[in-house]
């Protein structure tokens, strides 16, 4: 009996720990506009899948068509490999001409170039937050 209970306990822990969690993307009024799951799935506020951010930085829409790339060096490219922006290590977001168009603060606050808050991406890594800005939820330019 103890072995059966222990087995159920271990299975329960495995199921809980393997569950994919989603991080909220919110607008400046704290209304949820979407989610980015740990596996890179991007969902709108109704949990419908609208895209994917792959581990290699490829960004796809909900139909699996590639819409862009987030490179390891912070370069952001559209689906035709044209550079459309950059995400710097400090969270500065620049357009393709190196003009600053926004910021991703360390606490996940998203700001435009005038430092006005446009949204929140708390606990979302900078690459995924940059994808949210350039391809899914916000437009800075």
Residue 92 scores a pLDDT above 60: yes
Q: Give the residue with greater pLDDT, 126 vs 112.
A: 112
Q: How far apart are CA 81 and CA 73, in angstroms?
A: 14
- pLDDT one-digit tens code per residue, 37-86: 989 999 999 999 999 999 999 999 999 999 999 999 999 999 999 999 99
C-alpha span between 69 and 53 (Å, rounded): 9
End-to-end CA distance of the chain: 63
8 pLDDT exceeds 70? no
Residues 6+ apart with CB under 8 A from 78: 67, 68, 84
Name the pTM for this structure. 0.78
């Amino acid at each position: 009996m103890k072995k059966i209970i222990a087995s159920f306990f271990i299975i329960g822990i495995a199921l809980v720990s393997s569950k994919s969690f989603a991080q909220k993307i919110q607008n400046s009024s704290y209304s949820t506009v979407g989610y980015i799951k740990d596996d890179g799935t991007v969902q709108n506020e109704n949990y419908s899948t609208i895209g994917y951010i792959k581990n290699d930085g490829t960004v796809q829409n909900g139909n699996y068509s590639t819409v862009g790339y987030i490179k390891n060096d912070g370069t952001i490219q559209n689906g035709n490999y044209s550079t459309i922006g950059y995400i710097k290590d400090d969270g500065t977001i620049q357009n393709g001409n190196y003009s600053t168009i926004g910021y991703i603060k360390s606490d996940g606050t998203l700001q435009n170039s005038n430092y006005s808050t446009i949204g929140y991406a708390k606990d979302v890594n900078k690459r995924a937050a940059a994808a949210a800005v350039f391809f899914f939820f916000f437009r800075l330019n």
